């Protein structure tokens, strides 16, 4: 028995996907596909949401993990399994361990949201052991693979394996059953397992259905792999969209995505946050960042989807309430409603009062102010955060600040100091 992480040698077939659907009966839910009136009106199309956030483990990852585990030999089950995950794959494996009475070792990055760590432990119970290692998925994966080799266990790859891909692909079968005249499907992409699987399903259909991928702008591993023709490891990435932040796309998933995708768009993290808030406040959908990714991509795809039936996969709803302050912050900055400045104020009495009276508009609000007066200096720098009611209020604010003759600079997301704020 090989103890190396499985090397994908061939793509799953449509027959493999149909068999996976049979394996998953009574395990994963056939989640609803719901027409969303808000999104339909906004984008001039019939927009449906495939609600994988309503799975028992709150994400689609149960499909691939269980399909893989159900195919293990008795000897492999007795020895146990290992996986690496930023959260959702971990919960899928934990659920499979509990159902099949398989002992599992789950490696997760140390910065995984606490909600996902707690849920994984609760789902797996005594069948799983959690190992928090490294700061990224890839660091956790490296540790998991080393552990797997040392202990002679079976590694469950989160996306780059035929059985895992076939399990994720069952979403495509359900979409075609629920919306048989669908024109396009939009899916989130991290490692590419979901897109690869749905691509397998769509390839066998007589009626063409376009498949679009949405990847976080801060971790464009699949886009880079498509450009270079082979997987490339990202040197830097933004881990905020933890369910889709992967440093390196899969070999098999790249091959399948290259053939299946009509296009791949990069979605700014701030735009994803804005859509997370809209889904919650307007539609009652609690989506994690990766779960809102496909919906957030619609703004960039609207010109190509007008008048069509479009299904967006809401891939997961495992979100930690402690992250919502960052979600709101990123959204407001992306929308142009929150700005940060370093302003050199005169240390004469009344300088701040003058700024408030003459620089701020009626609806402008100071949401952050940090200043330390030093009597040995004529001017002192202050960090000032301002929230606007409308994006159009920005230029008038800048004009009034310049008219006051203030020396100031705006902190942008590219500036080193900006990381201290968000």
Judge residue 302's burial from the number of C-beta atoms within 10 Å of its C-beta, 0-12 exposed, 13-18 middle, 19 or more buried: middle
What Cα–Cα distance (Å) separates residue 104 from each residue in 53, 120, 184? 24, 11, 37
**8 Å CB contact between 220 and 205:** no
Interatomic CA distance for residues 4 and 22, integer angstroms: 28
Q: CA–CA separation, 359 vs 405, rounded Å? A: 11
Active site residue 50: no
Other C-beta atoms closer than 10 Å to the C-beta of 398 total 15
The CA-to-CA distance between both ends of the chain, in Å, stands at 48
Q: How many angstroms separate the CA atoms of 59 and 75, rounded?
A: 29
Catalytic residue among 59, 221, 315, 351: 315
DSSP label at residue 316 = B
Spatial distance between the Cα atoms of 346 and 213, rounded to a whole number of angstroms? 52
> Phi and psi (nearest 5°) for 216?
-60, 135
CA 137 vs CA 240, 309, 379: distances in Å? 12, 35, 46
Our measurement of the distance from residue 171's CA atom to the centroid of its chain's CA atoms, rounded to an integer in Å, reads 18
- Strands of 15-89, DSSP E: 33-35, 46-51, 81-84
Which member of 28, 50, 59, 61 is catalytic? Answer: 61
Which of 197, 255, 151 has the alpha carbon at shortest distance from 14?
A: 197
Query: Is 219 marked active-site?
Result: no
Neighbours of 134 (CB within 10 A): 19
State the number of CA atoms in the 13 A half-sphere of 193 facing the CB: 28
Which residues participate in catalysis according to the annotation? 61, 315
């Amino acid at each position: 028995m090989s103890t190396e992480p499985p090397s994908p040698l061939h793509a799953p077939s449509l027959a493999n996907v149909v068999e996976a659907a049979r394996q998953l009966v009574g395990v994963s839910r056939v989640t609803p596909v719901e027409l969303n009136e808000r999104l339909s009106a906004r984008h001039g199309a019939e927009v449906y949401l495939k609600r994988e956030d309503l799975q028992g483990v709150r994400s689609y990852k149960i499909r691939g993990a269980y399909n893989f585990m159900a195919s293990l030999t008795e000897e492999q089950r007795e020895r146990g399994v290992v996986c690496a995950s930023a959260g959702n794959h971990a919960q899928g494996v934990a659920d499979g361990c509990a159902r099949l009475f398989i002992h599992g070792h789950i490696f997760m990055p140390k910065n995984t949201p606490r909600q996902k760590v707690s849920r994984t432990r609760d789902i797996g119970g005594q069948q799983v052991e959690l190992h928090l290692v490294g700061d990224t998925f890839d660091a956790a994966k490296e540790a998991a693979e080393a552990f797997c080799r040392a202990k002679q266990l079976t590694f469950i790859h989160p996306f780059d394996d035929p059985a895992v891909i076939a399990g994720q692909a069952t979403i495509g079968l359900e979409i075609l059953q629920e919306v048989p005249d669908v024109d396009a499907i939009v899916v989130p992409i991290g490692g590419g397992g979901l897109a690869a699987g749905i691509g397998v399903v769509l390839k066998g259909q007589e009626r063409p259905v376009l498949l679009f991928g949405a990847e976080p702008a801060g971790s464009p591993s699949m886009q880079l792999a498509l450009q270079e023709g082979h997987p490339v490891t990202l040197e830097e990435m933004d881990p905020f969209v933890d369910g889709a932040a992967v440093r390196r796309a899969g070999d098999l998933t790249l091959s399948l995505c290259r053939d299946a995708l009509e296009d791949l768009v990069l979605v700014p993290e701030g735009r994803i946050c804005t859509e997370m808030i809209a889904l919650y406040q307007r539609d009652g959908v609690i989506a994690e960042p990766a779960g809102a990714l496909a919906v957030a991509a619609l703004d960039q795809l609207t010109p190509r989807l007008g008048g069509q039936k479009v299904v967006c996969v809401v891939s997961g709803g495992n979100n930690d309430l402690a992250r919502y302050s960052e979600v709101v912050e990123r959204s407001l900055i992306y929308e142009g409603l929150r700005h940060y400045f370093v302003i050199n104020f005169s240390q004469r009495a009344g300088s701040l009062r003058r700024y408030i009276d003459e620089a701020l508009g009626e609806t402008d609000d100071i949401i952050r102010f940090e200043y330390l007066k030093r009597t040995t200096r004529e001017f002192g720098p202050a960090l000032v955060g301002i929230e606007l009611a409308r994006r159009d209020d920005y230029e008038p604010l800048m004009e009034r600040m310049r008219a006051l003759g203030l020396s100031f600079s705006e902190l942008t997301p590219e500036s080193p100091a900006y990381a201290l704020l968000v």
